[in-house]
Amino acid sequence: MLFSNLLIPFIMILFGMIFVKKPPKYINRWYGYRTSMSSKNMETWNFAHLYFGRIWLVEGWILLLATIVAMLFVLKKDIDTIGFYSLVIEIIELILMLIPIILTEIALHKRFTKDGIQRY
């Protein structure tokens, strides 16, 4: 169960590093942080990947450590207790995994006009 609970934080850390260090070079339909605002132009595309990647990287490490600590509390417990804790952890991780999308969209709208032109 620990492995499955650590899967989301590891994915967040991995993609956070990729988006910060080597974001997709071109706007595409298959890979990357793809929203209508991030896909306006290369400036919004690069900003969105850097911003989103940093949040996912930090949040991934925090979730990784929090998950390990949380799972220590169910060490040597029965299988039903471990399963319940794992389900709660997974739901929390999935919710926290989506919050950076909202934060990135807010940052994009603050920094760029609706046409993708930088405000400052």
Please tell me the pTM assigned to this model: 0.89
78 phi and psi angles, rounded to 5 deg? -70, 165
What DSSP string runs through 53-106?
HHHHHHHHHHHHHHHHHHHHTTTT--HHHHHHHHHHHHHHHHHHHHHHHHHHHH
Encode pLDDT of 10-67 as tens digits. Answer: 999 999 999 999 999 999 989 999 999 999 999 999 999 999 999 999 999 999 999 9
With contact defined as beta carbons under 8 Å apart, do 11 and 17 qualify? no
Of all residues in the chain, the percent with pLDDT exceeding 90 is: 88
